[in-house]
Amino acid sequence: MALDLSDQPEIVQQAYGYAQQGWDLALSWLLSPAAWSQFALLVIAYLAAVLVARRLRPVLNRQITPAQEATGVIADSRRFAVVFLPLLLPLLAYGFTAIGETLVRSMFDSGAVIAFGKRVFLFLAARRLVRDIVHDPFLKLLGRYVLLPVAALYMFGVLDDVLAALTALTVTFGNISISAMALIRGIIAGSILFWLGGWSTRQTSQFIDAQEQMRPSVRQLVGKAIEFAIFAAAFLLLLNIMGINLGALAVLGGAIGVGLGFGLQKIASNFISGVILLIEGQATVGDFVELDGGESGKIVKMTARAAILETFDGRWIVVPNEDFITTRVTNFSDSGSANRYEAPFSVSYDTDINLIPPLIEAAVSKHPEVLDEPYPPDCELRGFGDSGIDFAVEFWVNGLDDGPNKYTSDVLFLIWNALKEAGVEIPYPQRVVEIKGPMPELKS
């Protein structure tokens, strides 16, 4: 029975119209022999898919799954393929239904029911993909709010109408006119492209970091260059997908470029300085450096704009790359080269100083981190002090005398123990007080 909704809002009338069309379609399917045969074919196709999937899935699982100790591209590809085995049932049902649709259309010249069932199986495959297979948060979000709605619209046969309506709707930005469909397509494609860009950048960085024959600075430079190229290509591809004419953006881009050129001179200078640092390798991640301004620390990260120094007390100092080029920089580590330190000490004037150098050098050589190359420990006479004879022992270690490495402290312990065992006195300050004139009398 038709209802009179002339006094209702237009959206209510449209909803009622769609509901009426759906009801009429359902009645036509229920009363049609061809529709009943198509329903039967759908059931048969689904049962056949269940039987085939039960027998085929264990076989495929055994054949595709690699051994646990297997490594390499082929093994990783096989592990990736195993993840998609849950899609076997809905995809088999979709394929068998497609075969049944061909038979029905050849017999009855009609296949609306079985075509709808085929689209239902495709929607179930998309749902299982999003629910059980995809685990990345971004891809799961994209599948939940993009793939599933699109699959649902396709299942009900209204996808083309919705796409046509979105294409007819345009959005204008100044002289640039973009359809709503192009805008949505750009948002979706941009999200996918930049996610792929980030993923490929991470994979490339892992591959480059594994190339130990390359200098760390070269590895960072190659990684940054590849990252810039990937995202630049993704941006240009996104503009092409959205249908934006790059010529229309030329004037706007030129004006923005001039403004950025004047306003971002320091950023450009730091970026170029960072590239020079990466090419020359004078300072790279892991080096301990001290700048002319007094900043010192270990370089833990180098970005396009600045280098991050970590001090011994755990603080991070952000130093612009330009400072490494325009000021004097002292590199103490130079990517792991040996460093020389010295430990000063004094002995009493009653000591035979000729015995001190071989005694101390032998004691310091016992330290496991003290090197014989480029030079072994060297004890030198430095001078005659007020309270004792001043010596210093120079030694080389493959690292920095910082918090984790207490080289100087360890060497001083070795010197103390060696002098004590040899009976050598370590002096302490002594003063001679001269009193002129008679001694004062003490009053009782």
Task: Render pLDDT for 202-235 as a digit per residue (tens, 0 to 9).
Answer: 777 777 777 766 666 566 667 667 777 777 777 7
Spatial distance between the Cα atoms of 118 and 97, rounded to a whole number of angstroms = 6
Asked if 347 and 399 count as a contact pair (C-beta separation under 8 A), the reply is: no
Residue labelled with tokens 């480059």: 208
> Mean pLDDT, to the nearest integer, of 108-124?
77
Task: Render pLDDT for 293-321 as a digit per residue (tens, 0 to 9).
Answer: 777 788 888 777 788 888 877 788 888 88
Q: Give 47-54's long-range contacts (Cβ < 8 A, gap of 24+).
A: 48/92, 48/96, 49/89, 49/90, 49/92, 49/93, 49/95, 49/96, 50/89, 52/92, 53/88, 53/89, 53/92
φ/ψ (deg, to 5) at 2: -80, 140
Of 183-192, 227-236, 419-428, the one with minimum mean pLDDT is 227-236
Is the peptide bond preceding residue 374 cis, with omega within 30 degrees of 0?
yes
For residue 33, the model assigns a pLDDT of 59
> Mean pLDDT, to the nearest integer, of 366-372?
88
For residue 53, the model assigns a pLDDT of 85
Exposed, middle or buried, 425 (CB in 10 Å: 0-12/13-18/19+)?
A: middle
Predicted TM-score (pTM) of the model is 0.49
Spatial distance between the Cα atoms of 411 and 417, rounded to a whole number of angstroms = 10
CATH class, range 266-331: mainly beta
pLDDT: which is higher, 208 or 259:
208
Asked if 123 and 154 count as a contact pair (C-beta separation under 8 A), the reply is: yes
Asked if 50 and 74 count as a contact pair (C-beta separation under 8 A), the reply is: no
Alpha helix segments (H runs only) across 243-350: 250-263, 265-280, 321-326
Spatial distance between the Cα atoms of 235 and 380, rounded to a whole number of angstroms = 65
Q: Which residues pair with 306 in a beta bridge?
A: 320
Query: Which pair of tokens denotes residue 253?
Result: 């881009």
> Mean pLDDT, to the nearest integer, of 159-173?
77
Spatial distance between the Cα atoms of 294 and 286, rounded to a whole number of angstroms = 19
Q: Which secondary structure element, helix H or strand E, spans residue 310, and what is its range?
A: strand 306-310
Is the model's pLDDT at 44 over the cut of 60? Answer: yes
When pLDDT is cut at 50, 70 and 90, the band that residue 395 belongs to is: very high
Asked if 64 and 82 count as a contact pair (C-beta separation under 8 A), the reply is: yes
Residue labelled with tokens 């301004």: 293
Asked if 187 and 180 count as a contact pair (C-beta separation under 8 A), the reply is: no
Is the model's pLDDT at 398 over the cut of 60? Answer: yes
Q: Read out DSSP for 67-86? A: PTT--SHHHHHHHHHHTTGG
Mean pLDDT, the chain, as a whole number? Answer: 77
Could you tell me the CA-to-CA distances from 104 to 122, 131, 141 in Å, in that order?
19, 33, 38
Q: Which residues pair with 383 in a beta bridge?
A: 390
Closest CA to 347 of 411, 416, 407: 416
- The radius of gyration computed from the CA coordinates of the chain, to the nearest angstrom, equals 40
For residue 220, the model assigns a pLDDT of 66
Closest CA to 411 of 348, 355, 354, 365: 365
Task: Render pLDDT for 145-155 as a digit per residue (tens, 0 to 9).
Answer: 888 888 888 88
What number of other Cβ atoms are within 10 A of residue 334's Cβ?
16
Helix 216-242 × helix 180-209 angle, to 10°? 170
Please give the DSSP secondary-structure letter assigned to residue 443: P
Does domain 339-421 bear CATH number 3.30.70.100?
yes
Is the model's pLDDT at 8 over the cut of 70? Answer: no
Spatial distance between the Cα atoms of 374 and 215, rounded to a whole number of angstroms = 23
For 299-312, b where at least 16 C-beta lie within 10 A, e where not — what string? Answer: beebebbbbbbeee
Asked if 281 and 218 count as a contact pair (C-beta separation under 8 A), the reply is: yes
Of 128-137, 156-165, 193-202, the one with minimum mean pLDDT is 193-202
φ/ψ (deg, to 5) at 249: -95, 0
pLDDT: which is higher, 220 or 336:
220
When pLDDT is cut at 50, 70 and 90, the band that residue 432 belongs to is: confident
For residue 50, the model assigns a pLDDT of 85
Query: Which pair of tokens denotes residue 111?
Result: 């296949």
Is the model's pLDDT at 413 over the cut of 90? Answer: yes
Which runs of E-coded beta strand occur in 11-89?
Answer: none
Is the model's pLDDT at 334 over the cut of 60? Answer: no
What number of other Cβ atoms are within 10 A of residue 289's Cβ?
22
Task: Render pLDDT for 87-109 as a digit per residue (tens, 0 to 9).
Answer: 888 888 888 888 877 776 676 66
- The maximal CA–CA distance of the chain, rounded, in angstroms, is 141
